[in-house]
Amino acid sequence: MSAPGVPPRVLTVAGSDSGGGAGIQADLKTMLALGVHGMSVVTAITAQNSLGVQGAWELPADAVRAQYRSVVDDIGVRAVKTGMLASAELVETVAELLSGTDAPVVVDPVGVSKHGDPLLAASALDAVRTALLPLATVATPNLDEVARLTGVRVGSEEQLRDAAAAVLTYGPRWALIKGGHLPGDAVDLLTDGREEHWLRAPRHDNRHTHGTGCTLASAIAAHLAKGDSVPRAVRAAKDYVTGAIAAGFALGTGIGPVDHGWDLTRGAAGA
């Protein structure tokens, strides 16, 4: 438990987005907005803006390990979220660290950026399947990531069940299959293989959606750190990211980010 007056502590293990819309920047903004203390382990540095990723450099495994131990051994964590891990070596390093940490883990198996730029080596997919997913409290793949990891391609809402079943075979306790790429309302399926939770939200006519996956996974981790059950945490996170998408704004000349402070600024405007 956190000491009195100390917010729950959440750790993101992910890459840096220099444009501030995704990655650890999005994670930390989300955590602040949701009232938890965000901490970070940087796995890679990207040169990134509204047009795409111009370059990416992964950090040495020893640097990732040192950051993680520094935070966890002294400050402790109530939940961990993983994002861009870049290579098989980093996936295996992070999995080893997580296996010794007593906290829920949200795995966002980031494969490509919003613009289609690769953020995970193809050679790392087996490590994600065999080392990382079995440690996940919740795995949050989108449909492209489901296809890369399992070979299952989803073209309809009904096929979300097939995708979830395929992901669950790799061992996460819960799978949240994000159906945002399907037509119609934004519908996601959360299941542990026994119970199902269908989460629906209206689709907003806003192209500025950079960082949605990072934001959703971080919001889930924040609510888990507060003690919410997985279904409750995911539903609250879905509500938060839906509002952030609706408030997404233009930045640069390409795809802008979601607004992580949408609820805070709305409250300030009404004060």
For residues 177 and 167, the answer to whether their CB atoms sit within 8 Å is yes
Q: Is 242 a catalytic residue?
A: no
Q: Which of 21, 23, 83, 211 is catalytic?
A: 211
Q: Is 209 a catalytic residue?
A: yes
For the record, the structure tokens of 238 come out as 């879905």
Q: Which of 29, 114, 178, 238 is catalytic?
A: 178
- What is the total residue count of the chain? 271
Residue whose tokens read 């405007």: 269
Q: Which of 214, 226, 248, 256 is catalytic?
A: 214
Q: Which of 46, 93, 137, 212 is catalytic?
A: 212
Q: Is 211 a catalytic residue?
A: yes
Q: Which of 82, 209, 215, 242 is catalytic?
A: 209
For the record, the structure tokens of 229 come out as 């059950």
CA distances to 28, 234, 261 from 17, rounded to whole Å, are 12, 24, 18
Distance CA 97, CA 255 (A): 34
CA distances to 7, 110, 130, 147 from 125, rounded to whole Å, are 35, 11, 9, 11
Q: Is 214 a catalytic residue?
A: yes
Q: Which of 19, 213, 248, 256 is catalytic?
A: 213
Q: Is 226 a catalytic residue?
A: no
Distance CA 223, CA 227 (A): 7
Closest CA to 78 of 22, 3, 16: 3
Q: Is 254 a catalytic residue?
A: no
Give the residue numbers marked as catalytic: 178, 209, 211-214
